[in-house]
Amino acid sequence: MFELTVKTHFAAAHQLTMVSQKCENLHGHNWKIEVSITGEKLDSKGILLDFGVIKAHIKNIIKDLDHKHLNDMPCFEGNPSSERISVEIANRLKELIEDKNVRVSRVSAWESDNACATYFPD
Ligand SMILES: [Zn+2]
């Protein structure tokens, strides 16, 4: 089994409901995102999936989130938690890259240096 991990980041604003009162106020984060892809088989050149392909897809996904008020995006159902951000990124990436050889194994969304939500699809 091989696992490839790509890191990226974006800045955005959000407001959360039903959590600590501080987070109900409009605020922002510089989210750090880690995306991992797993697979069993390498191609004839010894590559699972070109990092450039993963980065290009991630860049397109992040472009939709960067410098946005995430509460305005219907996919977050009014509460754009780091958990839902990692799910959204994983679901979009799955549609773009998954085939019988590779799958998205995890997406982590770090909202600060010491707080991270990780989603494990499947
Ligand atoms: Zn927050």
H-helix segments, 82-122: 82-97
Q: Which tens digits make up the pLDDT trace of 24-41?
A: 889 999 999 999 999 999
For residue 79, the CA-to-ligand 1 centroid distance in Å is 10
For residue 17, the CA-to-ligand 1 centroid distance in Å is 10
Model confidence at 21, pLDDT cuts 50, 70, 90, reads confident
| Residue 68 buriedness (CB in 10 A; 0-12 / 13-18 / 19+) | middle
Go through the domains of the chain in sequence order and give each one's CATH number. Answer: 2-119 (3.30.479.10)
For residue 5, the CA-to-ligand 1 centroid distance in Å is 24
- Give residues with Cβ within 8 angstroms of 87, minimum separation 6: 107, 119
pLDDT of residue 14: 96
For residue 26, the CA-to-ligand 1 centroid distance in Å is 8
> Could you tell me the two tokens for 112?
């600060």
> Could you tell me the two tokens for 67?
């410098």
Model confidence at 2, pLDDT cuts 50, 70, 90, reads very high
For residue 30, the CA-to-ligand 1 centroid distance in Å is 10
pLDDT of residue 98: 79
For residue 82, the CA-to-ligand 1 centroid distance in Å is 8
For residue 56, the CA-to-ligand 1 centroid distance in Å is 26
Task: For residue 32, list its beta bridge partners.
Answer: 9, 110
Centroid of chain to Cα 53: 16
